[in-house]
């Protein structure tokens, strides 16, 4: 039933059925049993599709999705197998570490400011960058150059480079994102406003020679 609902794009219902199947399997099988790889794949994928906004950062079930992805990849690698789903799953992992950076900075900013310490979250940043690059490499090889998913990865990577204070790289990626979404979205779409705002901020910083 989960696959049926997924094809109908009833992703919440598909997730419910997949969770039922997962819970049943966990009563009789160990978590890393090779037979669990398919249910991990389905659960991670449906959680990715549940997200409402292609370019948004909101991902309510991100931690759950990350757990399924890591289990799936671990099983597949132990079997010596590759998967076409790796691109989407690298994106989930990249987004997890990217969001973790933002969360850590929001929660700890007062602590670090009071002590004059710069919290770089270097491990999370490196992990996010690694998985975004893997994700980007796979999709650039397999999608048309103006595919909306490429715009998405350019946006996320641009945001991460901006966060890392690598403004020139961020600017280049935001421009790539803009060029794609101007072709595929209506002129009044809020995602266009977002990328214009990001570009405007960077060009302003460039004009005052802060990078």
Dump the DSSP string for 38-81.
Answer: HHHHHHHHHHHHH-S-TT----TTHHHHHHHHHHHHHHHHHTT-
**pLDDT tens for each residue of 167-209:** 999 999 999 999 999 988 888 888 888 888 889 888 888 777 7
Q: Check residue 170 and give its pLDDT.
A: 92
CA–CA distances in Å: residue 104 to residues 52, 57, 93, 162: 24, 15, 16, 17
At residue 142, does pLDDT exceed 80? no
Long-range contacts of 134-140 (CB under 8 A, 24+ apart): 134/86, 134/87, 134/90, 134/94, 135/87, 135/88, 135/90, 135/91, 135/94, 138/86, 138/87, 138/90, 139/87
Q: Higher-confidence residue: 98 or 27?
A: 27
Whole-prediction pTM: 0.56
At residue 121, does pLDDT exceed 70? no
CA distance 159 to 144: 22
Q: Check residue 138 and give its pLDDT.
A: 75
3-state secondary structure of 8: coil
Output the average pLDDT for the chain. Answer: 77
Assigned token pair, 170: 């961020």
**pLDDT tens for each residue of 60-93:** 677 888 888 888 888 888 888 766 666 777 777 7
| Interval 35-42 mean pLDDT | 88
Q: Check residue 16 and give its pLDDT.
A: 92
CA distance 32 to 53: 32
153, 135 Cβ separation under 8 angstroms = yes
CA distance 45 to 175: 28
Q: Higher-confidence residue: 113 or 79?
A: 79
Q: Check residue 116 and give its pLDDT.
A: 33
């Amino acid at each position: 039933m989960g696959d049926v609902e997924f094809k109908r794009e009833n992703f919440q219902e598909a997730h419910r059925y997949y969770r039922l199947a997962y819970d049943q399997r966990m009563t009789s099988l160990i978590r890393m049993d090779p037979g669990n790889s398919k249910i991990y794949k389905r659960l991670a994928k449906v959680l990715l599709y549940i997200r409402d906004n292609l370019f948004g950062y909101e991902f309510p079930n991100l931690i759950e999705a990350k757990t399924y992805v890591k289990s799936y990849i671990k099983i597949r690698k132990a079997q010596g197998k590759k998967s076409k789903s790796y691109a989407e799953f690298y994106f989930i992992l990249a987004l997890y570490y990217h969001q973790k950076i933002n969360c850590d900075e929001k929660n700890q900013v007062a602590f670090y400011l009071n002590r004059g310490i710069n919290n770089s979250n270097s491990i999370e940043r490196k992990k996010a960058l690694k998985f975004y690059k893997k994700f980007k490499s796979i999709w650039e090889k397999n999608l048309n150059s103006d595919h909306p998913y490429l715009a998405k990865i350019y946006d996320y990577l641009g945001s991460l480079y901006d966060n890392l204070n690598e403004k020139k790289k961020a600017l280049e990626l935001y421009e790539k994102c803009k060029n794609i979404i101007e072709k595929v979205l209506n002129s009044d779409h809020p995602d266009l406003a977002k990328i214009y705002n990001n570009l405007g901020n960077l060009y302003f910083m460039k004009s005052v020679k802060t990078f």
